[in-house]
Amino acid sequence: MPINTPFSKMLISKVLTIKATAKKPCLLSFVLLGSTLLTATSMTVQAAGLSDLFSNNNSASQSKFLPVDQAFQVISSTKATSKGTRLSIAFEITPGHYVYKDKLTLRFPKGVSATPFTFNQSPVSIDDPTFGKVPVFTQRSVIATTTLITSNGKGAKNVPVIIGWQGCATAGLCYPPEKVKTKINIAATRR
């Protein structure tokens, strides 16, 4: 571990100054300085480890995790139908990652409702260390579809909708839950 940080250089400079000016070496100063160097080195290692966790450096010698927006691309689209507005949420999942089926949620204002999600792929069941047996999507491309309607059957413009989801890397990292905010025009339903 190189001790080539500005903080460690300053401490070494102080040691050399103490040695040059003191007639007798002071054991206490040496012990305090040694513990300070160990603490500084430990903090440097921890900081480097955290910054390396999501580094874009593709070095084969170090295990890296992709940033969430590179591990998962999420795109929503809508289409007006006679039954309301069909909302499709497309997940492009990088190999070695998965999305929890049960963590896909929608939040919208009162007076709006949604049909249960349907999926173009079948989930697989995994034994998750946090959640137990859960269904997840590991496929490269997954599309979840629902239909949004208003309680009065009339159309509505710019309805705020929050799409919630969560994914993980199979190498051992679960990303925090994500939220995608969007506004959707809901088509009037025909009876």
Q: What is the DSSP letter of 114?
A: E
- Per residue in 89-114, pLDDT (tens digit) is 999 999 999 999 999 999 999 999 99
pLDDT reported for residue 179: 97
pLDDT reported for residue 62: 47
pLDDT reported for residue 38: 37
Q: 3-class DSSP state for residue 161?
A: strand
pLDDT reported for residue 130: 77
Strand partners, 84: 81
pLDDT reported for residue 148: 98
**Distance of alpha carbon 74 from alpha carbon 23, whole angstroms:** 68
Q: 3-class DSSP state for residue 136?
A: strand
Closest CA to 58 of 72, 70, 46, 44: 70
**Distance of alpha carbon 17 from alpha carbon 82, whole angstroms:** 83
The residue to which tokens 């309680």 are assigned = 151
The residue ranges of DSSP E strands in the chain, in sequence order, are 72-81, 84-93, 97-100, 105-107, 112-114, 118-119, 124-128, 132-137, 141-150, 156-165, 167-169, 173-174, 178-186
pLDDT reported for residue 104: 98
- Token pair listed for 23: 């007639």
Give me the residues of the chain with pLDDT under 50, please: 1-55, 58-62
